[in-house]
Amino acid sequence: MSPLLDVRDLRVEFATRHGTVTALDGVSLRLEPGETLGVVGESGCGKSITALAIMGLIPMPPGRIAGGSIRLDGEELIGAPERRLRQLRGRDIGMIFQEPMTSLNPVFRVGDQIAEAILLHQDVSRDEARTRALELLRTVGVPDPGQRIDAYPHELSGGLRQRVMIAIAISCQPRLLIADEPTTALDVTVQAQIFDLIRDIQDRLGVAVILITHDMGAIAEMADRVAVMYAGRVVEEGPADAILDSPAHPYTRGLIGCIPAIDPALAALDRLPPLAEIPGVVPPLHLLGQGCAFADRCIEAVDICRKVAPPLTGRGHAVACHLHAAAAASEES
Amino acid sequence: MNTAAYIARRLFYGLVLMFFVVVLNFVLIRLAPGDPAEVIAGEMGGITQEMLADIRATYGLDKPIATQLAIYLGQIARGDLGMSFFFDQPVAKLIGTRIGATILLVLAAQLVSILIGVVMGVFAARKPNGVVSALVAVFSTLGYALPVFWTGIMLIIVFASWLPIFPVEGMRSARFEGGSFAYVLDVLHHLVLPAVTLAIIFLAQYARLARASMIEVLGADYIRTARAKGVPERRVVFHHALRNAVLPILTVAGLQFGNLISGALLVETVFNWPGMGTLAFDSILRRDYPTVMGILIIGAAMVVVANILTDLGYRLADPRIRTEGGRR
């Protein structure tokens, strides 16, 4: 089966006051139809930039796609004309954002905001679009959709607004749904509902999902595959089970260590003491040196880690870490 | 709160405000130097003490100020603005013949300055560091800094004298013949220069405000959402962004009405526009108390009404205010 989305060696640069910084440094991701890829990492690791790059929404300037390729069903998106990208956005790729409170336009009724997406991509009348919007509101579990369709965003709660956002994102039955931290701004109880909804929609529409999050618990529940990102690179990538059960990169181990152990599914892992933390913060991108970007925070780092950036190696479960490569090599010999 | 109750409440506050406007202005004008009886007597030629006393008695100027105020307030409550000392006509009639011209000028200037200001601001916001943005900044600061009468005279020199495109002064051609449509065109033709002159001062503020507001809105999350839906850029700017960016402009537009009306006074004088400004100018020089008072009252009423209309417009434009019951 050919991949639905094939991102290869994507490089994105931003012009800043500190000169050009590389926000994405050779990111590669693959997504099969109907699959869920979890993208995890701390704030600033390039998760959202990756999503925006796939949507063709990197602000340029200051941004620039310096290299690589993004293929959707074999069609190259980098350098594709804006007209074509506009067709794909909202029709083939739907996106849900982090902030439901501010992601809907405050001066338009939510029904109209859903209908707009339908009218842009489908040859239907206004009435038909409205009927579709009403169905979508029902699909995403908005109670009393007949009333809510004429509500303004400020009249809805955060959870309902996020449901409206999801309705917009799936309005044209996309093949790919990108959810960029869809629950970060919501109450915990609502978070679970939104994840359930996304999974339900995925089952129903067979849409592939990229779930961007720093919530390893959500990854454990939702993702088929996981890509762990750090400072603009993918440092570990593979099946979700493999990564959660036997994380190979010290950063991934750190992330999993940060999950509160009360979650029984993960308490069973019991590899690190509950609520560990990763010392330090993601380095500012303009200060990145030659070596592994994580070296300064890594308790296991050795000399080579500070000198040479490790490549992502391994089939199926790939890791970018010198230590892991050395361990794997010694196992084989 | 529903709109009818809201309007009723605003009208009530407006009336209270008008009461204070009347009292304050009445007292201020009486405190100002100059005696209308002497001016009137001067116009009549010869003068004796008896004649002066007679004039004062005729116009009630011999009574104490408090009594005069009480009489005046009673008149106003009945909708009577009194008789002009100088023109010897009811003030209401004097103002009535001129108020239309002033409203026309003020609304035209407001419309021109908002439209052009918003367009300038939007284009500047598209590329905040671009050449257009810099030009808009220079032009709008210049427009704001230039005195109205100077701008007016320069426009007359260039567009009425050197290039005789527009008439020098007045509101209609002296010997006008033609149908009502041609009449409208004739008035509009006369309106261009005064309206532009008045608009230029306010243009600057609208352009800057529109630029800042537009830059902010274009960075909003919901704009990203619109783009992610596949909305064409033109529609993103003029539908999704502009609807939000005009809200602060509406607020300022409402607050500017008072300034516009006082600006109109100067412009009317430069262009000899037959509005309330020229009337105010004449009646102040002649100490024509009732006319000055009438103009002040009607001017204040225009500002109050304009503010209520602006707030109603704001309620229409921003759904968040409608449901919060008029609060911001």
Q: pLDDT tens for residues B106-136?
A: 999 999 999 999 998 888 888 878 888 888 8
Contacts of residue A173, Cβ cutoff 8 Å, sequence gap at least 6: A205, A207
Mean pLDDT of B278-287: 86
Contacts B318 to A, Cβ<8 Å: 106-107
CB contact under 8 A, B228 and A90: yes
Up-side HSE of residue A27: CA atoms within 13 Å toward CB?
Answer: 32
The pLDDT tens digits of the residues spanning B161-203 come to 888 888 877 777 766 677 788 888 888 888 888 999 899 888 8
Q: Which helix (H) or strand (E) holds A211?
A: strand A208-213
* Nearest partner of A44 among A275, A220, A178, A233, judged by Cα: A233
Q: Enumerate the residues of chain A whose CB falls inside 8 A of the CB of residue B225.
A: 97, 103-105, 165, 168
Task: Please answer yes or no on whether B227 and A89 come within 8 Å at the CB atom.
Answer: yes
Nearest-Cα distance to chain B for A107, in Å, is 6
Question: Quick one: average pLDDT of B79-100?
Answer: 87
In chain B, whose CA is at the least distance from the CA of A83? B232
Q: Which residues of A touch B319 (CB under 8 A)?
A: 106-107, 109, 152, 154
pLDDT for res B184 = 82
Q: Using CA atoms, how far apart are residues B276 and B102, in angstroms rounded to an integer?
A: 6
The confidence score (pLDDT) of residue A264 equals 56
Are the Cβ atoms of A55 and B228 closer than 8 angstroms?
yes
> Which segments of chain B belong to CATH 1.10.3720.10?
100-323
Test the B interface: residue of A105, A176, A177 with most B CBs within 10 Å: A105
Q: What is the pLDDT of residue A196?
A: 85
Give residue limits of the domains in chain A: 253-333
Instruction: Give residue B327's pLDDT band: very low, low, confident or very high (50, 70, 90).
Output: very low
Beta strands across the sheet bearing A176-180: A93-96, A176-180, A208-213, A36-40, A225-230, A233-239, A318-319
| Substitution target from B229, B240, B249 for chain A, most A beta carbons within 10 A | B229
Confidence of residue B46 (pLDDT cuts 50, 70, 90): low
Chain B positions touching A81 (Cβ under 8 A) are none
Low-confidence ranges of chain A (pLDDT < 50): 272
**B230 and A116 in contact by Cβ < 8 A?**
no
A185-230 pLDDT, tens digit each: 777 788 888 888 888 888 888 889 999 988 888 888 888 898 888 8
- B212 touching A (Cβ < 8 Å): no
> What pLDDT does residue B108 have?
93
B328: confidence class by pLDDT, cuts 50, 70, 90: very low
* Model pLDDT, residue B325: 44
pLDDT of residue B111: 92
Superfamily of segment(s) B100-323: MetI-like (1.10.3720.10)
The mean pLDDT of B322-327, rounded to a whole number, is 50
Q: Which of B221, B230, B232 sits opposite A97 (nearest CB)?
A: B221
Query: Could B229 and A154 be called an inter-chain contact, meaning their C-beta atoms sit closer than 8 Å?
Result: no
Residues of A in Cβ contact (< 8 Å) with B220: 102
The mean pLDDT value of chain B amounts to 84
- Tokens 């992601």: give the residue: A103
B320: nearest CB among A94, A117, A154: A154
The DSSP annotation for A274-327 comes to TT---SS-PPPGGG--SS-TTGGG-TT--HHHHHSPPP-B-SSSEE--HHHHHH
Q: Do B244 and A106 touch (CB under 8 A)?
A: yes
Burial per residue of A255-270, b for 16 or more beta-carbon CB atoms within 10 angstroms, e otherwise: bbbbbebeeeebeebe
Residue A267, pLDDT score: 57
Select the residue from A58, A107, A161, A184 to test the B interface by mutation, using most B Cβ atoms within 10 A.
A107
Q: What is the pLDDT of residues A280-318, one digit of tens each?
A: 777 777 667 677 777 777 777 777 777 777 777 777 787
Q: Is there a contact between A168 and B225 if contact means CB atoms under 8 Å apart?
A: yes
The nearest alpha carbon in chain B to A172 belongs to B229
Tell me the average pLDDT across B142-165: 84
Q: Which two tokens stand for residue A255?
A: 């992330």
Chain A hits for B240, CB-CB cut-off 8 Å, are 105, 108
